Structure 1
């Protein structure tokens, strides 16, 4: 048998709490010594530190996937691992690996001497893989049983970030009385038909801050009351299994009352509501506090128009809520900024765009073809469901990433288009993102100031202050 000249070494350790990678270093040393004895040349090492390969593991193994891809494409012609349980603890994954070895002809060896060249050797390897899978499943069963017993005794999981109302570092066993009092105040307000916005304003007025040391907003108040820990409810894998034996701000019944109130007031977002609808949204900032201003349609006294305003329920640039002092008609601001951008584009000398080396079409075509081949093999019964869906998920993730990069390249190209003015003058909604990209090449930000109420004449030009690209943005003014 021809000795492989381009060997890949795969090393993996499940837990590396100190982050020193000592386990994979020892594995690599043993694998290199084996390659030296066999006369195999090492080309690349594929390290997977602090990564599980069990049947319950949710974390992806990118280096394992990369190694198999390199083997299929002929970049490496041999694979060496310390032991079979370092390669995988899933019998289905091991079977898929052996099928790939048989199909693509790369050699395989472990420091424990497993042989895949014969039927008996492959049988022994499969038995070892089954034993490794059984070990992880039995360990998982013991851990899950222990965790469930702990939950049923009213001892919640102690991990995760601090929740408002509980003392830092107490593992949710001790509460902060001042915060509990605010939570109970908010509960009474909600039961009295007040809103979460009212609760946020009350907590801010009391000088309270979130666990992240920012001002309270509607969403952050909702997040507190949505936490099951607030009601002392102990869950296991999403199911309620009991009540906490430790103090908690609300009773289970009070927590469920809050959920009813919050659910009755929530409305599902419209399809596509997260997309930008206004050309300058995100560029406009409050001239008083520096918060990013909102843009929306409004109807007042039968007149429908677009307005931009400083949102007093939105956290601003320095962790404070917006001041709410600025409320302006958006149309006048848009017209002035359109004139500025068009004037800047007309002053530009048209230059042909540089040849882009960001061509993702070939890579996208390759991934699409691999997905089609994968689907074909699965339909023919050559792949198990688990292996098929794992591989499909990984390929689709790569494909989505490439398509996102391709879209980003289109946007970047619009900033240097030969005829950017023609792109700019196409004000169709489907062209909005390209026009916004052109805006970002001209304008850094726009500070908007209040013009008072009841004004009949057009606002002064200095009621907005434009910071062009190349200038440092102005800080918030008082």
Structure 2
């Protein structure tokens, strides 16, 4: 983009950009810089600054900011540079709207735009601006064609069940299809632990303590572990989108070419647990309290029932800064009309659970003797086949849109019911390691708090009754029952 070079200014900025540099070696932008410096030397320009946006696209689909581009344009508006030099027009922008911004910029500030290979357009004339706009539209179309080819290639690979590339997925080798045994065992163990009621925060902490890292060598966090466990690839499935971020755009494409690490039923049960909004709201921090959200308020209401609101810990007493021990009460979350000291309450409930899990009959009630999922699995296969046939009938105009919608919704509803039933049975079958110990009671008392909480939820309901005014703590305030008891 160039007008009459007479009396041309001499201060030049070089802009270099490349869309993809996954290895971070910057070789592409280095080549652009070399060619631009050679052009500047031929033109007698003084290069006063270099602006580099590496591994950032300039297409209409890109959502990444280009900080160096913005800095360069700010410097040009401040008249710190008079010429902007790039390898090609497409390095500056592939967006028609940005091309209009460059034309307007030239009109207001007089900045010249030169390129190594795209030619120089005179933005001070109508014909020059027309040529610049045509080149911009050609660059945009080429970027969109590249995107279409890449999407079509990935879709074809998905339809064939092939790996579509990217960062090495945890549990697999670099090829994305060969299972890495040690990492696969972690996925299997963590999946079962989640189904058993363990929290992601506690599991991530345990993995870090054992020296385990992610596929990129980073420490585990709640979010990183969750991202690994909700992936359909764990069950040997290909998908589009992410169920944990935008369920509407998420779709299972089909079976992958690699073997599954966990069964599809187990993966679906884990995914449903970890994408439950209520779990995400309360599972971000390490668990400290046995009864938080589990114990309920037993204050009687006007209709004769119990308040039933969950209890949460609340501090009371002196502050740590003043050398006083901070203590905690469990408090009703509804109106704070009931409190109870947390420490003796938790100690008593732990003792009750420890004694219960020493009873073989209790263990037997928690661990099903056998887990036969055959009937539900076969029903699921039949329903999927019906759904596919319904779609084919609609495509062939054998049924109208109203009939297609009604049939699809009915089949989908039954599918969801089957999946929920499978998930529930899998969660029951994934018993805590506590139950398999020689002394389940001692194992329970020695287990992490989130393990204890999971078992407590399965075993008991704890209702806290109001205290007698002036009386000390007593276990009589705790109404402890088994699920289903009145």
Provide the TM-score with structure 2 as the length reference: 0.49
Provide the TM-score with structure 1 as the length reference: 0.50
Which has the greater radius of gyration? Answer: 2
